[in-house]
Amino acid sequence: MKNFLLLFLFLFVWNINAQELPNITLKSLDGKSVTTQEISNSENLKVLSFWATWCVPCINELDAISEVYEKWQDETNVEIIAISTDDSRTRQRVKPLVNGKGWDYQVLIDENQDLKRALNITTLPHVVIIKNGEIVYRHSGYTPGGEDELFDVILEHSK
Amino acid sequence: MKKLIILLAFCLSGQILSAQLVDNLTIGLESNGAWYNDDKKTGSFYDDENQDGDEHIRFNNYLKLDYRFLNNFTASVQLESYEPFALINYSPNYEGTNLGTYSLNYKNSKLDITAGHFYSQFGSGLILRNWEDRQLGINNALLGGKVVYTPVNYVSLTALYGKHRVGFDTSEGEIFGFDSEIDFSSILNFETSALNLGLSYVGRKEATEVVDPEFDELTNAFSGRLDFSSANFYSSVEYVTKGDDALVQIINGNNVFPEDFIKSGNALLVNAGYSKSGFGLDATFRRLENMSFYSDRNTAGNVYFENIVNYVPALTKQHDYLLTNIFVYQPQGVVNFIYDAQIFKVGEIGGQLDLYYKIKKDTPLGGKYGTKVAINASYWAGLKGDISTDFANPDYDMDFFGFGTKYFSDLSLEVRKKWNPKLNSIFYYVNQYANQKEILSIFSAETIKTNIAVAETTYKLGKGKSIRLEAQKMWSNSDDHDWIGGTLEYNFNSKFSIYVNDIYNDGTDKDTEKTHYYNLGGSFTKGATRLGLNYGRQRAGLVCVGGVCRFVPEATGLTVNLSMSF
């Protein structure tokens, strides 16, 4: 136990550099394989938003961004990719929910949570911003208005 | 073990000198602790799993390290510590501090090879799934080897072998698996349609102590699945068949293998839907018969989800509010004959329907911002057929499309409404029917019918500040259950939040009557680091994460959750 506490302290003071996105295969809504490498290979800023159909704050966040997404894209060319971590209990709800809500995002499925595990994501929602294949920002949780703060970070990195 | 951690810390600090090395290291840390109190109202603290009432402060810690090297290799280890005991209701197999999982992976564009622990899933998981859920204490990773070969981008082949992780040990039984996925739409150059085929095999081999068994050590399961989508329409069908195997029955607390009670099992899952912008409709049908599948036969039906080969979630809506999760459906895919309670279950049949609709802006119901509606309905019943309830000679023969005793139904309606840029509300209504005698296998349990209403409102105060208020009420046909609840949440900004909630039963249920199940707490988030604190009284009941629900006992105390990622 004491060692674990020491480790926590040690990790707190450790200043971490930018990391690459791990190479994991995801599925598109029509069953095609998409690798995270394909996502990283782009000059545009990508925001990966990890969510699930049963996670209320996740839906709130994606609903809120959906209302300002057009404006965001006009100003920054940012692309939001909504990564569903739903497993087979709820996966069938992803497609009708996304369309029913009229979300305009690319949606990928991380059905057995391989990418979520590789990125050590323990709570949803969780956003990861990728620039030139590297992770430049992460944030977990969503509170109303959090989308404005996220956009400030996007603006900062899209310069 | 201690030395190992010190060594690890030492190695890590050495690496700080070289940023290049640090760049390739990913670290995840999670610590969940609890300080359990004796509760005047609900009794003093006692941990049934470890038969302990003294260790009130406990921690479950997880440290995961992934190190990438030579472009294609990743080495991973996960250290776990459950000190002095695991949190209550975790399997007693999680004991002490040890290496939980370790693996070495090589990956290029065609090959993905893993030695050590790995997680895999074939199709929807109905035939095979390995996953981790720390909140529920599930980790059924396989320890062995896995090869995924993708010769061309439309074909993927997987072969695997391993034993299940059970605590810090492994299962006796061995698992063999083979899976193939073919994307026909790429081969046939479909432009707007998709067609995928999957075929799988899973074998489980376990020696048995039964003398002259009439079943084989190796049980074979096969599955086929087809996914088709075209424009706005999509559909999928999956069928699993499991070969003859002994049916383990629990009689007087002991596992018994009744002679000649050897049966095969099967599962059918069909899903279809139609969706376009502003509208989504989805329908699912599933039938399960004897789909219990464990690496060690003796562990069939264990409450910790250890040794589990396949994933059979409840196909009902997972609700988000406290009162909507009091009566929860548990899938009934296994053969369970309980003679003294006169309960004879062989499987389940049923389905669910989901509808999502967005009422357009500037219409009478849509208002200025549009209104979002979601409806879910589900119905589950036992299988219909002939059951021989003779204790000496149990047997059954079920119809393929017959509905037997009703187990559960659930109808829910959600309306989301934005009033103005600062104010929005959610209205939620649920009607449930739960045949508790069959679902919980308790003879005296009554059938509960409930109506639950929830209203929540969020008001943005500007500069990231917001307040959320939630009120819940449950009416039921039973004098035992008459619940009321509420939540108040205040967000200072995107980093810091506090909340308080309470549910209270005004009914006469002897376990919960006149007791406030209150919680208050807060969380602090910065980047990928999150710290949560909660003090309160936990109601005994099912805690559900993803598709799995586990029973947790009543407990009162302080919990702390810390997670970090680098």
Is pLDDT above 70 for A8? no
CA distance B192 to chain A (A): 10
Q: Which of A25, A35, A93 to mutate to test the interface with B (most CBs of B within 10 A)?
A: A93
Q: Which of B319, B356, B542 to mutate to test the interface with A (most CBs of A within 10 A)?
A: B356
The tokens for B156 are 């993927």
Identify which of B209, B223, B214 has the alpha carbon closest to the alpha carbon of residue B297.
B209
Q: Starting at the earlier edge strand, list the strands of the sheet with A33-35.
A: A19-20, A134-140, A126-131, A46-51, A79-84, A106-109, A25-28, A33-35
Are A101 and B358 a contacting pair at CB < 8 A? yes
Residue A12 lies in a domain: no
Summarised one tens digit per residue, pLDDT across range A59-116 is 999 999 998 999 999 999 899 999 999 988 888 899 999 988 889 999 999 989 999 9
Element (H, E) at B232: none
Identify which of B143, B148, B164 has the alpha carbon closest to the alpha carbon of residue B310.
B164
Residue A74 lies in a domain: yes
Residue A2 lies in a domain: no
CB within 8 Å of A28: residues ≥ 6 apart: A34, A106, A107, A108, A109
- Counting DSSP H helices and E strands in chain A, the numbers are 6, 8
Are B131 and A18 a contacting pair at CB < 8 A? no
User: Between A and B, how many CB-CB pairs are < 8 A?
Assistant: 217
Check if the beta carbon of residue B472 is closer than 8 Å to that of residue B452.
yes
Question: For the stretch A103-134, what's the b/e string if a residue is b when 16 or more beta carbons lie within 10 angstroms of its beta carbon?
Answer: bebebbbbbbbbbbbbbbbbbbbbbbbbbebe
Chain A residues in contact with B523 (beta carbon < 8 A): 141
The tokens for B126 are 């109905």
**A140 vs B12, B464, B530: nearest CB:** B530
CB within 8 Å of B450: residues ≥ 6 apart: B326, B327, B430, B431, B432, B434, B474, B475, B476, B477, B481
Write the CA distances from B324 to B229, B240, B406, B550, integer angstroms.
Answer: 34, 32, 20, 16
Q: How many structural domains comprise chain A?
A: 1
Question: What angle, 0 to 180 degrees and rounded to 10, lies between the N-to-C axes of helices B2-16 and A2-13?
Answer: 10
Residue A15 lies in a domain: no
The tokens for A18 are 């930018």
566 residues of chain B, pLDDT tens digit each: 555 555 555 555 544 444 555 678 889 999 999 999 998 888 888 888 888 888 899 999 999 999 999 889 999 999 999 999 999 889 999 999 999 999 999 999 899 999 999 999 999 999 999 999 998 899 999 999 999 999 998 999 999 999 999 999 999 999 999 999 999 988 888 888 899 999 999 999 999 888 888 889 999 999 999 999 998 999 999 999 999 999 988 777 778 888 888 999 999 999 999 998 889 999 999 999 999 999 999 998 888 999 999 999 999 998 889 999 999 999 999 999 888 888 999 999 999 999 999 998 888 888 888 899 999 999 999 999 999 888 888 899 999 999 999 999 999 999 999 999 899 999 999 999 999 999 988 888 899 999 999 999 999 998 889 999 999 999 999 999 999 999 999 999 888 999 999 999 999 988 888 899 999 999 999 988 999 999 999 887 766 655 556 677 788 999 999 999 88
Chain B residues in contact with A99 (beta carbon < 8 A): 275-280, 356
Q: Which of A15, A19, A117, A122 to mutate to test the interface with B (most CBs of B within 10 A)?
A: A122
Residue A146 lies in a domain: yes
CATH number where A112 lies:
3.40.30.10
Q: How far is it, in rounded angstroms, from Cα B161 to Cα B205?
A: 11
Q: How far is it, in rounded angstroms, from Cα B313 to Cα B331?
A: 6
Residue A5 lies in a domain: no
Are A97 and B356 a contacting pair at CB < 8 A? yes
CB within 8 Å of B313: residues ≥ 6 apart: A87, A88, A89, B331, B546, B547, B548
Identify which of A88, A80, A27 has the alpha carbon closest to the alpha carbon of residue B310.
A88
Are A126 and B528 a contacting pair at CB < 8 A? yes
Q: Tell me whether 0.85 is exceeded by the ipTM.
A: yes
Identify which of B551, B547, B426 has the alpha carbon closest to the alpha carbon of residue B121.
B547
Check if the beta carbon of residue B325 is closer than 8 Å to that of residue B314.
no
Are B460 and A96 a contacting pair at CB < 8 A? no
According to DSSP, residue B316 is labeled S
Are A144 and B466 a contacting pair at CB < 8 A? yes
The tokens for A6 are 């020491």
Q: How far is it, in rounded angstroms, from Cα B459 to Cα B425?
A: 9
Write the CA distances from B214 to A61, B84, B210, B292, integer angstroms.
Answer: 56, 44, 9, 18
Chain A residues in contact with B124 (beta carbon < 8 A): 88, 91
Residue type, A150: L
User: CA of A17: which chain B residue's CA is closest?
Assistant: B23
Residue A64 lies in a domain: yes
Peptide bond into B84 cis (omega under 30): yes
**B354 vs A17, A20, A96: nearest CB:** A96
Domain extent for A42? 20-157
Check if the beta carbon of residue A107 is closer than 8 Å to that of residue A34.
no
* Residue A66: Cβ within 10 Å count: 17
Q: How would DSSP label each residue in B437-470? A: HHHHT-TTPPEEEEEEEEEEEEEEEETTEEEEEE
Alpha helices by DSSP H, A32-133: 36-40, 56-76, 94-100, 114-118
**φ and ψ of B319, to 5 deg:** -80, 165
Residue A151 lies in a domain: yes
Check if the beta carbon of residue A73 is closer than 8 Å to that of residue A63.
no
Q: How far is it, in rounded angstroms, from Cα B234 to Cα A9?
A: 50
